[in-house]
A and B are shown apart, each in its own frame.
Chain A
Amino acid sequence: MPEKKLKIVLIGQPNCGKSTLFNHLVGFKARISNLPGTTVQIERGEFKRGGKLFEIIDLPGIYSLTQGDEAENRTLKFLLEEDYDLMVNILDASMLSRGLELTLQLLKLGKPMVLVLNMVDEANRKGIHIDVKKLEKILNIPVIPAIASRGIGIKELFDVIENSNFKTSCFLKDLPGNILKEVQKIKTILSECIAHKSECTLFFFATKILGGEMAPWDVISEERCLDRINTQISESRRVFEKEFSMEPEDVIHALRHHTAMTIAEKVVTFKRKKSYSIDERIDQIVMHPFLGYIVMAFVYLGLFYLVFKIGSMVEGYFTKPFELLYSQKTGLAFSLWNSFIDGLSGGIGIVFPYLLPLMFFISLLEDIGYIPRAAYLMDTIMHRFGLHGKSVVPLLLGYGCNVPAITATRIIEEERNRILTALLVPFIPCSARLTVLLAISNKFLGPLFAVGVLLINLLVVGIVGKLLTLLKKEDSPGIVLEIPSYRTPSLKITLSKTWLHAKEFLFIAWPMLIAGSMVLGAIQFYGIEQIINSILYPFTSGLLGLPDKVGVTLLFGILRKELTLIMLQTAMGTPLSGLKNVMSNAQLATFVVFSVFYIPCIATLAAIYREFNKKVMFYSILLSTTVATILALLTRLLYSWL
């Protein structure tokens, strides 16, 4: 008999330590960060305990069950439509009252629930002590105090899960009699129109519908029912208008807020300890109106300098041994073999010296809590481009890889800003393109060239952003972004996230890279590349002044940008160090600039298509190719003028 899997969902507000807990339950697989809204995808994992199999689902962090950004809509849809056995609500104990507002909403879903009070140590540091037993009694569900980052409370959670000690509590105490009466009326109609939903869920729908957060046709389709509901809604709204002179959703929210505060007051004892000001002292510099930008420039350039330095120091050790493997013989098999080695060593030459350090440092910045601060500092500037600081988050992630960056645009609420940000993301050179930039700068053009390209790159993002905004004008109300506390990063967690990024490269990109390299080797062996090159000749040589051999390289670079450098070597028939014999500095610079900016790789295009549509994808291709051509031309002109 197949085992029945128990499905458990994790849900909580951003930055409550949800993903850390997920990792403890399923092993170190999920991504953790001190960045509101990182888990925009729903992650799943499995674990076995006491002979039972459990599936665990990590939902995106949300502040409330109202509809808002993409993450919130997804989570709400999941909670209402999917089947699961237990909700584990994780709450930042140092923000008890705010967290409870979500908890109160979740309790109305009528599903078994456990509350995990996470980060009790941080709460204690703030002088907040919570009476867990009392909270259990009020909410009528198990409450587990925990410090997920140190694994405290995990065993207790496991015990509750294992014993299937599940409790459902339909908490309605936040609705006073006169409102409950109106909700009840709507619920009664719903119960006649909807089958297979618990009483509690119907209450939840009724409250949402009355509050205008949910349309009646979201849950019922029968016309007769809709008519009845609509009549009842207008009637109830009139009652609200008369009794509170406020919109129903504001009344319901205010009551929930009040209830959460009252509960928090009942269970919390305040013991003022030493002042909590380490954050403030750091922020006095990091968030300073002037120093903050200097710190940011140092962090940004320091990040690339470190990667650059480490990369160039160790690169040779990784790629040298492969040079012994090249065959000197001629023939298709040997040609393919050499291309295979090219791909192999090229991948290693990217992963260890550049990709891993870059991912490690970006992960570290996320985990510390620096990225939302950078978003605040950048908001002032981004606002001039009609975007806001939240766009910084996907753009910065883009330096790692554009694909997760496109996904990360989901944290932006306005569709217009999402699309604009997604169109800008491909202009951010991902680690694959950075390796091309860094390696060629490192070998031939000098570190200043790399710094220059990175700074010009930012300028281009700004200018293109501004132009796009002019085309699609709309005044966004602006940013609302939580600035979380600084956290001491855990090496284990930062490393596991670094590994996660690298793994994607190793198992998806690298094999493609080797295959691409071999395809190119075969094309070259049969001399087909001359046909492709001659078709592209007017563009590559005529317009950009590049050797005509790079045509194939640029064309296949679309498959995977990290192929570019290896394919360049294959195409030019020389290892990296020999490139300067076949290409002038001007040609190398033009080539680098064009590769950094032109068409995003296939995987990024697919991500744009998935998140938006074909139109946005084509815009992205058109935009990036145009910008890349203009910039490459400028580089060519600049070098001829120097």
Chain B
Amino acid sequence: MTLFDAQVGARLRVIQIAGGRGVRARLFAMGLNPGDYIRIIQIAPFRGTFFIENLSNGSKFAIGRGIARKIIVEYA
């Protein structure tokens, strides 16, 4: 499943980041890597932006919906 379809608040594990080199390199460098545990803190209203936390180091990100569709996760 992708982050886009995951439940808000659930503990998730990043399996893979699909998508172009640009997107992947950006997420990697900002500290979102396969194997990391993350959770969706909230999703902005009206099909809005994702606000997520990387539970491995406490860093937080705003992530667009398009990007959320490229992050493949599983419940952990």
Interface on A for B, CB 8 Å cutoff? 63-64, 66, 68, 94-98, 101-102, 126, 212-213, 249-250, 253-254, 257, 276, 283, 287, 289-290, 372, 375-377, 379-380, 383, 388-389, 413, 475-484
Contacts and interface: CB of A to CB of B under 8 A. Distances in A.
Interface string B14-41: 0000011111111111110110000001
Contacts of A413: 22, 26
A479 B22 contact: no
B30 A479 contact: no
Given A126-B58, A253-B25, 4 more contacts: A380-B46, A478-B63, A480-B27, A482-B30
B23 A64 contact: no
A96 B59 CA distance: 11
B67 A479 contact: yes
Contacts of B68: 478
Nearest to A477: B66
A634 B30 CA distance: 47
A317 to B, nearest CB: 43
A477 B19 contact: yes
Interface residues of B, number: 39
A557 B19 CA distance: 48
Contacts of A484: 60
Contacts of B31: 63, 95, 97-98, 101
B65 A478 contact: yes
Given A287-B51, A413-B22, A480 B67 contact: yes
The 8 closest A-B pairs by CB, nearest first: A478-B64, A380-B48, A64-B29, A98-B31, A63-B29, A376-B62, A379-B49, A478-B66
A477 B64 contact: yes
Contacts of A101: 29, 31
Interface of B: 19-31, 33-34, 41-49, 51, 56-68, 70
Given A95-B31, A257-B33, A480 B48 contact: no
A476 B29 contact: no
Nearest to A14: B30
A480 B51 contact: no
Contact of B66 (A254, A377, A476): A476
Nearest to B30: A63
A374 to B, nearest CB: 10
A483 B62 CA distance: 7
Contact of B26 (A383, A480, A483): A480
Contacts of B43: 289
28 contacts: A63-B29, A95-B31, A95-B58, A98-B57, A126-B58, A213-B25, A249-B25, A253-B25, A287-B42, A289-B42, A289-B43, A372-B62, A377-B44, A380-B44, A383-B64, A413-B22, A413-B26, A476-B64, A477-B19, A477-B20, A478-B49, A479-B63, A479-B64, A481-B61, A482-B59, A482-B61, A483-B60, A484-B60
Nearest to B52: A483
Contacts of A477: 19-20, 23, 64, 66-67, 70
